[in-house]
Amino acid sequence: MSSPDLNQLVVLHAVLSEGSVVRAAQRLHLSPSAMSRALARVRETVGDPVLVKAGRTLVPTPRALEMRERVAQLLQEAQALLLPEKAPDLRRVVRTFTLRTSEGFVETFGPDLIRCVTKGAPGVALRFVARQTRDAAGLRDGSVDLETGVIDATTSPELRQLPLFTDRLVGVVQSGHTLRKRRITAARYAAASHVGLSRQTVDKGWIDAALAALGLQRTLTTSVSGFATAIAVARGSDLVATVPERHTEALRAGLHTFPLPFPLPSIMVSMMWHPRMHADPVHAWLRDCVYRTAGTRKA
C-alpha cells in the first residue's frame, strides 16, 4: 500500500473549513476543476465522500466532521515544525555545553564566561575539557559543542569559525631571575635554560627559527604538555617559559613577563563549531557570550 500524499491534508482542511469547492479553490489558488480533481483524490484516499450535496449546498459527512479538528491540528503542528524556531526563553533552558579549550583560556576567561552564562540562562551548565587532539571528531559527533584555538592547515574546513582575539608570545621568569638584571637581548634569552612544550600548537617552530636566523639556539632543559605547566615550572625554577600573553594572563601573576627581543608573528585565537549547531538559538547565544567575554581582545 502506497503512502498517502500529505498535501491532501491541505486540500481536506480547505474544503472542510470553507464547505465549498469553489471557495476552497480560491483559498488554495487553484482552478475549480483542479480543486475538484484534488478532492476526488482525497475521497479515494479516506474512503469517504467528505462533502455531499444537501439541496443547493454541500455538507460534511460524519467522517468529515470527525476528522475536521484533527486535520486542523495536524496542519498547525506541521507549520510550527517547519517555521523558524522562535527565540527560546533562556531562563527556562536546561542544557550542558562542552567547551574544548586550553587551561589558560579557562583561567583567563572562564570566570567571566560563567557569569555571563549564569546571568542569562541559570539552567545552562558549562563543561570544560582539554584539547587532546586537533581533529573535528568531537565537534562532528556532538561530544564537543564549541572549541577555541588557533586555525591552521590541520583545522577541518567544514567547521564554522569566528576570530576572538590576537595574542603574542612573551617570556616568563620568576621575579628573582638573572635575566632581570640587564636588558634582555636575543643572545641573553637564548643563553638561558628553557622549558618547552612537547605538544606545541602555537609557535610552530617560530622561536627556534627566529633565533636560528640570528645565529642563536636555545637550550630546552625540560618539556611539558601545556602552558599552565610551563608557567608553574618557571615559577619554581630558573627556567624561561615562552607562552601566549593574553591566553595566560591569570596564570602569570607574581612572575616577571617580558616581550621577546626578536620579532614573531602574532597568534589569532578563534572559536569553532560544527555547522549542524549554527542555527541552534541557544548555541548561538552561547557563542555570543564567548565573544563578549573573550572577543576583540588585542595583545
Segment 256-265, tens digit of pLDDT: 999 999 999 8
Residues 189 and 257 in one domain: yes
192 shares its domain with 215: yes
How many domains are there within the chain? 3
Q: Is residue 1 situated within a structural domain?
A: no
The pLDDT value given to residue 204: 52
Grid coordinates in use for 39? Answer: 478532492
Name the residue among 133, 139, 158, 150 with its Cα closest to residue 97.
139
- Cα 223 to chain centroid distance, Å, stands at 32
Distance CA 3, CA 72 (A): 20
- The CA distance from 87 to 79, in Å, is 17
| pLDDT, tens only, 11-31 | 888 888 888 888 888 988 889
The H or E element that residue 160 is part of is: strand 160-167
Indicate if 257 and 180 belong to the same structural domain.
yes
Contact indicator for 148, 99 with CB cutoff of 8 Å: yes
Q: What is the CATH number of the domain that holds 78?
A: 1.10.10.10
Q: Output the domain CATH number for residue 114.
A: 3.40.190.10
**Domain check: are 174 and 254 in the same one?**
yes
Q: Tell me the C-alpha distance between 170 and 250, whole Å.
A: 14
Same domain assignment for residues 45 and 163: no
- Note whether 66 and 22 are same-domain residues: yes
pLDDT at 126: 96
| Residue 53: C-alpha distances to residues 43, 45, 60, 79, 223 (Å) | 14, 20, 9, 32, 89
Mean pLDDT per 10-residue section of the chain, whose length is 299 residues: 76 87 88 90 89 85 87 81 76 95 86 95 94 78 91 83 93 94 94 84 74 94 89 95 89 94 92 91 95 74
Specify the pLDDT at position 299.
44
Tell me the residue range of the domain where 222 lies. Answer: 169-265
Tell me which of 82, 99, 122 is where a domain ends.
82
**47 located within any domain:** yes
pLDDT of residue 84: 65
117 plus 178 within the same structural domain:
no
What integer pLDDT is reported at residue 21 of this predicted model?
Answer: 87
pLDDT at 200: 54
pLDDT of residue 298: 45
The pLDDT score that the predictor gives to residue 267 is 87
Q: What is the pLDDT of residue 107?
A: 84
Residue 199 lies in a domain: yes
Q: Are 103 and 199 in contact (CB under 8 A)?
A: no
Q: Is residue 299 part of a domain?
A: no
- 257 and 178 co-located in one domain: yes
